[in-house]
């Protein structure tokens, strides 16, 4: 045999899985169809700019990140602890009262807060902040779609329609409130506990760090190797590659993206949500702020925008400014047009976007696995004897979910191999 275990896919789940297996002394081969590790976490250099594959951030408050990622080495550059909101009457600011206390006066002047609205939001989000495990444990019985949960908690008015809903639409990749309420509350908890940012060298730095650790443990990472089929029989799993060659092992872990799972395993294709990100080179920064900007007016396809180079200067050449603008991407692959995006983004920032140079548009049809109610945080690791599946579509739709899934599946594989 070529290895004890073959891991198919070098995304976050696959990389964590391979590392745990190799650390336990198993011979591991990793097969990745692309020319670099990372899966959806990729970064390209375009005209001196760092462009991630879609707008992506890393929240250092994720427990899996705290356990298995060296955030200091990533040189994480945080965004501001809050939001800018474009309202009909102007641009207002909401900031985290503890992490950015200097913005408290502006937050109170925003016109978005009232005692009743704040109490309702606390009633909705509080249980997840204080007792997240209880939220997860009760999800199977009490979970509901996000919109119903907000209604039930009495979260109404401009705080909901102009802030919570447009912000979460960008996080969840959907604006109908169909996502699990429990999952949304857990994500809000993470935003309350940590300030997301981007690695100075792009989001690619995260999988590259994981790959480096896996390689140091002896994992044989092979890029440009696409698996076309796999077959398990009598304690042996054989994988066929696109060129016709074969790799065999005692076990195989399929850790590909959700759109590719059904091509290798007898499993249904997980539902996914799409996002579209536009990357612009702006001659002048439309704002000096590091805050994410959302459109409370909800007047167009744009969900959010940010000046990436304000938070992470390394994302742009000296004297130039990188702006990201993100929209929803429909199931048919349609998002905003360039004219619509420029018009709305300019209105949101309060500037003209006519002289922004378009660097690239990323249409990420499978940006996130759908996470409907009731929330399911664990799916079975073993598909059949010797064959396993990992990924955020098997846990929660997040970096946290991908890492936890990879770790859990690796430990299942190790237990099974010990028993044979």
Q: pLDDT, tens digit, for every residue of 219-249?
A: 999 999 999 999 998 789 999 999 999 999 9
Q: Within its chain, how far is the Cα of 134 from the centroid?
A: 24
Q: Is 94 left (phi over 0), alpha (psi -120 to 50) or beta?
A: beta
Residue 1: per-residue pLDDT: 61
Which has the closest alpha carbon to 240: 226, 255, 260? 226
Which has the closest alpha carbon to 38: 329, 257, 199? 257
Per-residue pLDDT of 244-295, as tens digits, reads 999 999 999 999 999 999 999 999 999 999 999 999 999 999 999 999 999 9
* Contact between residue 344 and residue 295 where contact means Cβ atoms under 8 Å apart: yes
Residue 140: per-residue pLDDT: 65
Angle in degrees, CA 225, 228, 231, rounded to 5: 115
Q: Considering the entire predicted model, what is its pTM?
A: 0.95
Question: Does 420 have pLDDT greater than 70?
Answer: no
Which has the closest alpha carbon to 23: 410, 420, 412, 419? 410
Residue 141: per-residue pLDDT: 73
* Contact between residue 125 and residue 334 where contact means Cβ atoms under 8 Å apart: no
* Contact between residue 406 and residue 390 where contact means Cβ atoms under 8 Å apart: yes
DSSP single-letter state for residue 144: -
Residue 98: per-residue pLDDT: 74
Residue 162: per-residue pLDDT: 97
* Contact between residue 9 and residue 256 where contact means Cβ atoms under 8 Å apart: yes
235: exposed, middle or buried (Cβ count in 10 Å: 0-12, 13-18, 19+): exposed
Largest CA distance in the chain: 69
Cα-based distances in Å from 102 to 81, 98, 417: 11, 9, 56
Query: What token pair was written down for 387?
Result: 């064959």
Question: Does 343 have pLDDT greater than 90?
Answer: yes
CA–CA dist 105, 82 (Å, integer): 13
* Contact between residue 112 and residue 85 where contact means Cβ atoms under 8 Å apart: yes
Q: What is the mean pLDDT of the chain?
A: 95
């Amino acid at each position: 045999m070529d290895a004890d275990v073959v891991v198919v896919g070098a995304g976050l789940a696959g990389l964590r899985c391979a590392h745990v297996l190799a650390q336990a002394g198993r011979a591991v081969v990793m097969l990745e169809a692309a020319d670099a590790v990372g899966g959806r976490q990729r970064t390209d250099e375009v005209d001196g700019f760092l462009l991630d594959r879609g707008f992506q951030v890393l929240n250092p408050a994720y427990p899996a990140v705290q356990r298995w990622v060296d955030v200091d080495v990533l040189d994480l550059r945080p965004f501001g602890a809050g939001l800018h909101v474009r309202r009909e009457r102007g641009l207002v600011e909401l900031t985290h009262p503890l992490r950015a206390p200097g913005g408290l006066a502006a937050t109170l002047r925003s016109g978005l807060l009232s005692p009743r609205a704040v109490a309702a939001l606390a009633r909705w989000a509080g249980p997840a902040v204080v007792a997240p495990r209880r939220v997860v444990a009760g999800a199977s019985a009490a979970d509901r779609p996000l919109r119903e949960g907000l209604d039930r908690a009495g979260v109404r008015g401009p705080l909901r329609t102009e802030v919570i809903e447009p912000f979460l639409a960008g996080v969840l990749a959907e604006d109908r409130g169909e996502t699990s309420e429990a999952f949304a509350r857990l994500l809000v908890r993470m935003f309350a506990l940590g300030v997301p940012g981007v690695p100075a060298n792009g989001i690619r730095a995260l999988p590259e760090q994981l790959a480096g650790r896996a390689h140091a443990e002896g994992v044989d990472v092979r890029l440009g190797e696409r698996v076309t089929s796999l077959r398990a029989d009598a304690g042996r799993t054989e994988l066929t590659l696109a060129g016709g060659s074969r790799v065999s092992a005692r076990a195989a872990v399929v850790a590909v993206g959700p759109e590719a799972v059904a091509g290798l395993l007898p499993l249904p294709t997980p539902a996914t949500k799409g996002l579209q990100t536009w990357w612009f080179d702006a001659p002048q920064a439309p704002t000096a702020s590091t805050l994410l900007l959302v459109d409370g007016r909800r007047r167009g396809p744009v969900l959010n925008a940010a000046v990436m180079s304000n938070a992470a200067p390394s994302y742009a050449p000296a004297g130039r400014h990188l702006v990201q603008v993100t929209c929803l991407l429909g199931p048919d692959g349609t998002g905003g047009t360039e004219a619509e995006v420029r018009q709305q983004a300019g209105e949101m920032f309060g500037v003209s976007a006519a002289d922004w140079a378009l660097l690239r548009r990323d249409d990420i049809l499978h940006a996130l696995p759908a996470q409907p109610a009731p929330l399911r945080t664990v799916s079975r690791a073993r598909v059949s004897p010797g064959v396993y599946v990992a990924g955020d579509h098997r846990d929660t739709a997040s970096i946290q979910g991908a890492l936890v899934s990879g770790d859990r599946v690796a430990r299942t594989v190790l237990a099974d191999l010990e028993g044979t």
